[in-house]
Amino acid sequence: MMARAHSITQPDDEELALIRAWTRLGAAFTVEPEREPVDLEIVIAQTAEIAPRNERLFVMAATWLAGRHTLVDARRLVAALKRLHGKSSAVAGALLSVAAESTTGQTALHAGLAVCHRLRHAEPLFGVMRAHPKLLALVKQETLPVYLQWGLWHNDARLAWDALRPIRWTLSHCPELRFRALLGSGLDAGVAGVLSDHPATITELAASTGATYAATHVAAARLAARGLLDPPTDDTRPKRWRVSPAFLRAAKVAFRR
């Protein structure tokens, strides 16, 4: 028996902002989607902080991550999750664990799991359960291992696949993820994403992506060798790199609805 207790309170501003972000990404909430590009890894970390207030948010985030984990940048996810502490870190672990159960092989989710921490003293995943002692007792008795390993009590790990929009819908609405779809979710896509907004030097790119100068230079050179970036000419100062106009056009056309 799956026990659930639903809060009747309206989402606060933090919850609503996250719900709108996930709606933009393709989760079927009944709110207007966020209009500005979302920082996926930051949204995941913020969701771990807020999800104990909202079970639907947890379920939809887990569903999206299970189905779209190839769009997650492992390096940036690890950096975002390292900032979490206490219950938020444990919730992040549970969120990624539930999603990872529907994946195969090592993914960005597994990289994120490595920096999450279990609660020392177990407690309900969703705070609303504290107001329902009998229901909480049942949940404690039926808690699933995927939650118990993080020191959390919950007895339902079902995902909401019918409430996840198709990948092409997501990419048509989220230009910020298109380079990840084309280049993979690593540094190459991060470099191309920054340069799609404006030309930049390697130093500027490293600062924007959070990667080292050396790694950023290797990524830029790799993309240039494939004709996707235009490197600076020898006589230009400062030496700014640019995305190839042909590549920008191709990225836009590829995901038109």
Q: How far is CA 185 from the centre of its chain?
A: 11
pLDDT at 9: 55
User: What's the DSSP call for residue 54?
Assistant: -
6 pLDDT more than 50: no
Mean predicted lDDT score pLDDT of the chain: 93
Q: In order of start, what are the domains of the chain with their CATH numbers?
A: 13-163 (no CATH), 167-254 (1.10.10.10)
- Residue 78 binned pLDDT confidence (cut-offs 50, 70, 90): very high
What is the H or E stretch that residue 113 is in?
A: helix 108-113
What pTM does this model have? 0.91
pLDDT digits (tens, 9 = 90+) for 149-186: 999 999 999 999 999 999 999 999 999 999 999 999 99
- Residue 48 binned pLDDT confidence (cut-offs 50, 70, 90): very high
Cβ distance 184 to 158 under 8 Å?
A: no
Q: Is 227 left (phi over 0), alpha (psi -120 to 50) or beta?
A: left
**Percent of the chain at pLDDT exceeding 90:** 84
pLDDT at 251: 87
Cβ distance 126 to 55 under 8 Å?
A: yes
